[in-house]
Amino acid sequence: MSHSRRQPLPNPLTVPERALPDLPLRQALRFEPGRPLADFDPAATPGYPGRGKSDAAELTDLIRPALDQWQERLFADGKERGSAANSVLVVLQGLDTAGKGGIVRHVFGLFDPQGLRLASFKQPTPKELSHHFLWRIRRQLPEPGLIGVFDRSHYEDVLVVRVDQLVPADQLDRHYDEINRFEAELVDQGTRLIKCFLNVSPEEQKRRLLARLTDPAKWWKYSTNDVKVRAKWPAYQEAYQVALDRCDQPAAPWYVIPSDRKWYRNWAVAMLLLEELDDLAPTWPAPDYDVAAELARVRSS
Ligand code: AMP
Ligand code: MG
């Protein structure tokens, strides 16, 4: 895939060296098929250039202007080129408390809401169940020029559906190939996919569930189902392993985000997005009018 620059960037976006990871996160966090998920430490902080929690907000602030401007260019490009423009889709998957909601709030809160398309996928409604599992997903894809965020996704159809055996085994088996074809199609149409597995440890999940139950302001986040899902931890690890092994493609990569430390998790997803946008490098659209002539017209008006 080539992304030619149609015009030189008027003001190159730079991020201070000290805010950048020594190794691009797209390499440092990249899953490789066959690699056991148990090898990934949920409390690790790969590539983090600072001291820790104490400077995470500051380092995030340093990349915010670049994120903001890339997003605006992407959006402008979408207005200009319509279906020929690119989009970005961030898929967030992880067990309860892993931080899907936290990322939506803290990472996507950095962006201009008009350039975002957020969707969350719950237990399918009867209507959704009457369609193919990708039907509801297609309806929520980001239009060209937008950054889409999926809080859960089509992967639920190989995760909870596998663990709870919600469909016959042969149908489940087909889901993986259907997902791969679907994602390849998306990429062909110009969508950049960033698939994040938020890797939280069982100990940290327990702390977070307890925190939800001991703070009335967090009761709404708790579901009595969470403890039932937690009891199936090994089955979910296996389901994630198979999903990542079978549905990792060069153009639709999986990243494993260590998620025991919220500050690292949020910074890492923001940085992954920055790297992707940097690579995509959308340009400001050229005007479809004569700038000098319009200047003269406005001045004399
Ligand atoms: P939450 O995201 O915590 O509000 O919970 C949403 C619930 O919907 C989770 O228990 C998911 O496993 C469940 N869910 C999402 N997609 C599906 C699906 N395709 N089939 C069955 N359950 C699903
Ligand atoms: Mg929940």
pLDDT value of residue 88: 98
pLDDT value of residue 8: 47
pLDDT value of residue 11: 55
- Structural domains for the chain: 17-299 (3.40.50.300)
- What is the reported pTM? 0.95
Task: Report pLDDT digits (tens) over 178-192.
Answer: 999 999 999 999 999
Residues with CB under 6 A from ligand 1: 96, 121-124, 152, 156-157, 160-161, 225
pLDDT value of residue 12: 58
93 token code pair = 């998957």
* Cα 185 to middle of ligand 1, angstroms: 25
Residues (pLDDT < 70) of the chain are 1-12
Q: How far apart are the first and last CA of the chain?
A: 46
Residue nearest to atom 21 of ligand 1 (CA): 123
pLDDT value of residue 5: 41
* Cα 96 to middle of ligand 1, angstroms: 10
Of 286, 154, 246, 259, whose CA–CA distance to 197 is shortest? Answer: 259
pLDDT value of residue 14: 82
For a pocket test of ligand 1, which of 121, 128, 132, 228 has the largest count of ligand atoms closer than 8 A to its C-beta? 121
Edge-to-edge strands, sheet with 254-258: 116-120, 147-151, 87-94, 191-199, 254-258
Count other C-beta atoms under 10 Å from residue 150's C-beta.
Answer: 24
Q: Which residues pair with 116 in a beta bridge?
A: 147
Of 88, 195, 68, 184, whose CA–CA distance to 142 is shortest? Answer: 88
